[in-house]
Amino acid sequence: MEISGEMMGCKSKIAVVMAKPNEIQGLMEAFDGCCGVFHTSSVADPAGLSGYSKSMAEMEGKASENVMKACARTPSVKHCVLTSSLLACIWRDNSQYELPPLVNHNCWSNESLCVDKKLWYALGKLKAEKVAWKIAEEMSLNLTTICPGLITGHEFSYRNPTATIAYLKGAQEMYANGLLATADVRRLAEAHVSVFEAMKTTTAFGRYICFDRVIQCEDEAEKLADEIGILRNKISGNSSDFVFPNCFELSNKKLANLMSRTLRSCYAES
We report the CATH number of the domain holding residue 69 as 3.40.50.720
Q: Tell me, what's the pLDDT at 242?
A: 52
| C-alpha span between 250 and 174 (Å, rounded) | 11
Q: Tell me, what's the pLDDT at 103?
A: 95
Would residue 10 count as lying in a domain?
no
| C-alpha span between 126 and 109 (Å, rounded) | 7
Amino acid identity for residue 238 in this structure: N
Would residue 135 count as lying in a domain?
yes
Q: Tell me, what's the pLDDT at 50?
A: 55
Q: Tell me, what's the pLDDT at 194?
A: 96
Q: Flag whether the pTM goes above 0.85.
A: yes
239-260 pLDDT, tens digit per residue, is 555 544 568 999 999 999 999 9
The segments of the chain whose pLDDT lies below 50 read 1-8, 243-244, 267, 270
Annotated catalytic residue within 11, 54, 125, 254 = 125
Would residue 8 count as lying in a domain?
no
Is 125 marked active-site?
A: yes
| C-alpha span between 188 and 211 (Å, rounded) | 8
Q: Among candidates 11, 189, 206, which has minimal Cα distance to 106? A: 206
**Alpha-carbon distances of 19 from 46, 50, 210, rounded to whole Å:** 17, 24, 28
Would residue 133 count as lying in a domain?
yes
Q: Tell me, what's the pLDDT at 162?
A: 77
Q: Tell me, what's the pLDDT at 21?
A: 85
Would residue 3 count as lying in a domain?
no
| C-alpha span between 177 and 192 (Å, rounded) | 27
Would residue 12 count as lying in a domain?
no
CA atoms within 13 A on the CB side of 66: 20
**How many domains does one find in the chain?**
1
Length of the chain: 270
Would residue 139 count as lying in a domain?
yes
Would residue 112 count as lying in a domain?
yes
Q: Tell me, what's the pLDDT at 58?
A: 93
52-93 pLDDT, tens digit per residue, is 889 899 999 999 999 999 999 999 999 999 999 999 999 998
Query: Are 90 and 107 a contacting pair, CB within 8 Å?
Result: yes
| Domain membership of residue 248 as a residue range | 24-269
